[in-house]
Every structure is written in structure tokens, then in C-alpha cells.
Amino acid sequence: MLANMLENINHVTMDDAILRASAAENQNTFLKDFPPPLFIDEIQKAPNLFEQIKISLDSTHKKGQFFLSGSQQFKMMKHISESLSRRIGILNLQSLSLREITGVTEQTPFLPTDEYFSSRRRSPSEIDYDHIWNLIWRGSMPEMVTNPDYDWRMSGRRNLPV
């Protein structure tokens, strides 16, 4: 999502072993090679960059210079809280809801009232039992839902039996 929204800025991923090594060994010059505004994906793989990002933010006081994403939220949050406190905004993206996946457009917020429950009865979505189990098993992150050929068993896991 961020890559699509931020097409016109520098974009690096720490999945790239060469870039990750550069960030680890040359963190002082890494941001000169990739100046802000900069989108860094899988930032948790290069935690030493947080200090350089902090220095850059403190020197410029410009907002919207760094966009950081990662798939290991807890590791990333530890480094952020230690080095970038009060300098960033955090968005936690959740998986798609069953209503989003099945296209139910009812947007009424949940209120435990008779009116709410009767309105929900009027707009049921037919959901196949096998489809529910597939969602439970695969998960409901956007890539899992929109790409049925995606091999979810290999995403981020190593040496697990298939």
C-alpha cells in the first residue's frame, strides 16, 4: 500500500541483503545515498538506522520525511520507542474483516440494540463453510485474500514442514 501511495519518493527494502549490509556498515552515509523523503520497508532488519533517522529528523524538523514499514511489529516498536519517541506517527494495519472480504457494505457501527440486530438480519452474506476455514487457515491480510495462488506456507517461515 505504501509503495503505491509513495511512488515519487526514494524506496528501499531491507530484504535486499546488499542494502541491509550497507545500512549496517555505513549507517552514517546510508541516508546520503538515499535522501529523504524515503520509504524504508522491513525496517526492523536494520535497527541501527533508527538513530540516523532521529538525527535527520532533529536537524531538519520537517514532517513526512520517512515512511517506515515492517512485518515484525514488536521488534520494530522496541527500536522506535527507544529512538524516535514523539517524532513519529504509527499506523497499525489489521487484516481484512469478514465483512470487507465478502463485500458486505453495511457500515452501521456496532451497537447492541434491537434495531441494529434487525438491520443486520436484512443484509446477510452467504459465506461458504470451506471459505471460512480457508480464511482462518491462511489469514486475512490483503495479499492472502486477493491472491489465491500466494504460497502462505512459505511467507516468513523457514524450515517448516509443508
- For 5, counting Cβ atoms within 10 Å of its Cβ (0-12 exposed, 13-18 middle, 19+ buried), the class is exposed
The tens digit of pLDDT for each residue in 4-63 reads: 777 788 899 999 999 999 999 988 889 999 999 999 999 889 988 888 898 888 898 888
Strands 10-13 and 66-69: unpaired
Total domains in the fold of the chain: 2
The answer to whether residue 144 is domain-embedded is yes
pTM value is 0.62
The answer to whether residue 104 is domain-embedded is yes
The Cα 10–Cα 35 span in angstroms is 7
| pLDDT above 50: residue 135 | yes
Tell whether 106 and 74 lie within a shared domain: no
CB-based contacts of 15, cutoff 8 Å, min separation 6: 41, 42, 45
Domain enclosing residue 122, as ranges:
98-154
The Cα 152–Cα 95 span in angstroms is 14
| Mean local confidence (pLDDT), 103-123 | 75
Tell whether 79 and 103 lie within a shared domain: no
Tell whether 12 and 68 lie within a shared domain: yes
Could you tell me the CA-to-CA distances from 65 to 26, 50, 58, 116, 153 in Å, in that order? 20, 13, 11, 43, 35
The answer to whether residue 159 is domain-embedded is no
The answer to whether residue 122 is domain-embedded is yes
- To the nearest whole percent, how much of the chain has pLDDT over 90? 14
Is 29 within 8 Å of 58 (Cβ atoms)?
A: no
Give 161's pLDDT tier (boundaries 50, 70, 90). Answer: very low
> Which run of H or E residues covers position 93?
none
* Average per-residue pLDDT for the chain: 78
- Specify the pLDDT at position 131: 79
Greater model confidence, 76 or 16: 16
Tell whether 38 and 108 lie within a shared domain: no
Tell whether 61 and 131 lie within a shared domain: no
Q: Report the range out of 15-24, 74-83, 99-108, 143-152 with the highest average pLDDT.
A: 15-24
